[in-house]
């Protein structure tokens, strides 16, 4: 007897039962087992079903999932992408719906287009290794299988490490040049932004003109750069774009997570109570100019989310928990955004203890989440409350700080500042701690008005500064601030057309 002739009627009978009863995949498995049909495995419910020999079982499993409505991923194109992120991935499958979210491992894509119930295109966020792509709808999450595995390919951009007083690449002591471009994650219409807005092509132009392995420091603030102004939910797309472009040109980014005055980020002066644990609370000022009402998370929660999202980016240079920290108080009359110049330091020793506690806790958490990358202090270094004189070294000794910093607005003097808080003092303190130090901001006023340095004169002065500071122990020299239209009557800014940029292009 031809047994195939006997078994054929049984399978269609099961299919009809499953499709007409609206049964789940679990009940389907039970039914097919009872009549002697091979039970579909988890692998059979997705594109790996194409590898099973029994085409009838594959059809039954997919039909069952089609009825339950759970999304299914059947193929990806391409199946390998750059670890830098930014590649477009086409996802084929079933049961895709408008509003579907697409996860690449733990990171959700910031740009998803649902073309139909069987097709999605999504931008790959930065990541590494092999991840699963999961499509999430209001019905459920797609099942992991061989069909939804994506491979991230290394860009061969090595992480920056520290050894004693040196920053290193591949174990080789290295000094870095670059710029601050605080506003480059501004995307009006998506976020509130801070400063001007550059197009992707303009940002790419900056990165492409810098020397290889340059650094760019920018604001990765929650309130103005990472929150959608319409939904008031986190939207990573503008910061993603900065990381994608930086990875393309092997630029190292130094994202500052917030700043001392809350400017462009909650507009809350970070006083002693904030440093001693208030950063775990939500400060979401409803009034103000920049980012009002857009800090939906506490600093602590946002910091964790930010670190987890970008810790695998090859473009990540160092984390900066806060720019220009000082545990001072600000009179109510000057809050929230006019504290600069009016701050009070009630107790230097208490302020130093609060800053040490903050960096030890926050830097320790960053290290736990991302052991591959360094934490840079963001210190101004000019004698601020909590880091004045010897306390700069006391706070700098925190295990949560890997790299110290200074900001230099001392005019044309190569090593400016006084004998208590000057640059020579700070470089010596870093050496005593056996930690690297960077010049995180450096600027000289220049322009066309009388009494203001000319652009060529500024370039010469900054060249002398850079050489003197590298010789004194600085490991990076980052000019303030790159913008599209820098040339005015008298400004710290630099940008296209300024001869200063020739100091930073590596001879390009």
Domains of the chain: 3-61 (no CATH), 72-153 (2.60.40.10), 161-503 (3.20.20.80)
CA distance 354 to 145: 49
Query: How confident is the prediction for the chain on average, in pLDDT?
Result: 87
How many other C-beta atoms lie within 10 A of the C-beta of residue 313? 27
Are 234 and 297 contacting, i.e. CB atoms less than 8 angstroms apart? yes
DSSP 45: G
DSSP state of 500: G
Structure tokens at 304: 């964790």
User: Hey, what are 469's tokens?
Assistant: 């500071």
149-153 vs 80-82, strand pairing mode: parallel
Token couple for 252: 């190292």
In angstroms, rounded to a whole number, what is the distance separating the alpha carbons of residues 16 and 88? Answer: 39
| Each residue's pLDDT tens digit, 353-381 | 999 999 999 999 999 999 999 999 999 99
How high is the pLDDT of residue 64? 55
pLDDT-based confidence at residue 335 (cuts at 50, 70, 90): confident
| Confidence at residue 337, expressed as pLDDT on a 0 to 100 scale | 78
489 — pLDDT class (breaks 50, 70, 90): confident
Mean of pLDDT values over 183-193: 96
- Interatomic CA distance for residues 287 and 90, integer angstroms: 42
Q: How confident is the model at residue 5 (pLDDT cuts 50, 70, 90)?
A: very low
CB 15 within 8 A of CB 29: no
The tokens of 449 are what?
A: 């008005």
Give the residue from 501, 495, 493, 492 showing the smallest Cα distance to 459.
Answer: 501
pLDDT of the residue at 506: 75
pLDDT over threshold 70, residue 201: yes
With cut-offs at 50, 70 and 90, classify the pLDDT of residue 13. very low
Q: Give the pLDDT confidence of 130-162 residue by residue, as tens digits.
A: 999 999 999 999 988 899 999 999 999 999 999
Q: Six-digit token pair at 477?
A: 């020299």
CA atoms within 13 A on the CB side of 463: 13
> Residues 440-471: pLDDT tens digits?
999 999 998 888 999 999 999 999 999 999 99
**Tens digit of pLDDT for each residue in 296-322?**
999 999 999 999 999 999 999 999 999
State pLDDT tens for residues 490-504.
999 999 989 999 999
């Amino acid at each position: 007897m031809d047994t195939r002739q006997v078994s054929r009627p049984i399978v269609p009978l099961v299919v009809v039962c499953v499709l007409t009863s609206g049964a789940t995949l679990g009940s389907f498995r039970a039914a097919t087992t009872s009549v002697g049909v091979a039970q579909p495995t988890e692998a059979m419910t997705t594109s790996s079903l194409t590898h099973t020999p029994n085409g009838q079982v594959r059809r039954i499993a997919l039909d069952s999932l089609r009825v339950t409505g759970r999304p299914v991923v059947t193929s990806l194109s391409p199946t390998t992408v750059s670890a830098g992120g930014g590649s477009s991935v086409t996802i084929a499958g079933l049961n895709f719906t408008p509003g579907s979210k697409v996860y690449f491992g733990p990171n959700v894509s910031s740009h998803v287009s649902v073309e139909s119930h069987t097709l999605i295109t999504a931008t790959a966020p930065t990541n590494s290794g092999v991840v699963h792509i999961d499509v999430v709808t209001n019905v459920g999450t797609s099942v992991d299988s061989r069909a939804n595995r994506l491979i991230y390919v290394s860009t061969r951009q090595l992480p920056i490490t520290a050894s004693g007083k040196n920053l290193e690449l591949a174990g080789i002591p290295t000094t870095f040049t670059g710029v601050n471009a605080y506003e480059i994650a501004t995307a009006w219409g998506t976020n509130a932004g801070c400063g001007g807005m550059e197009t992707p092509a303009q940002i790419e132009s900056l990165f492409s003109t810098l020397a290889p392995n340059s650094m760019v420091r920018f604001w990765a603030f929650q309130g103005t750069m990472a929150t959608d102004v319409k939904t008031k939910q986190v939207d990573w797309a503008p910061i993603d774009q900065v990381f994608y472009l930086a990875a393309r040109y092997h630029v190292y980014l130094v994202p500052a997570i917030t700043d001392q005055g809350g400017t462009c980020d909650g507009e809350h002066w970070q006083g002693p109570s904030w440093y001693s644990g208030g950063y775990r609370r939500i400060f979401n000022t409803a009034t103000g100019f920049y980012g009002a009402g857009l800090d939906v998370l506490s600093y602590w929660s946002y910091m964790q989310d930010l670190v987890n999202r970008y810790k695998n980016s090859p473009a990540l240079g160092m984390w900066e928990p806060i720019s220009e920290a000082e545990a001072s108080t600000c009179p109510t009359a000057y809050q929230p955004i006019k504290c600069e110049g009016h701050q009070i330091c009630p107790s230097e020793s208490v302020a130093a203890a609060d800053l040490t506690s903050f960096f030890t806790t926050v830097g320790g958490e960053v290290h736990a989440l991302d052991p591959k990358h360094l934490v840079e202090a963001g210190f101004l270094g000019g004698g601020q409350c909590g880091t004045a004189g010897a306390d700069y070294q006391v706070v700098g000794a925190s295990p949560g700080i890997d790299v110290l910093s200074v900001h230099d607005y001392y005019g044309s003097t190569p090593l400016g500042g006084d004998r208590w808080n000057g640059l020579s003092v700070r470089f010596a303190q870093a050496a005593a701690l056996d930690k690297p130090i960077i010049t995180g901001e450096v600027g000289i006023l220049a322009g066309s008005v009388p009494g203001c340095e000319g652009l060529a004169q500024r370039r010469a002065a900054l060249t002398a500064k850079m050489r003197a500071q590298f010789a004194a122990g600085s490991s990076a020299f980052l000019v303030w601030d790159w913008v599209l239209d820098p040339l005015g009557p008298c400004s710290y800014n630099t940008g296209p057309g300024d001869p200063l940029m020739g100091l930073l292009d590596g001879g390009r």
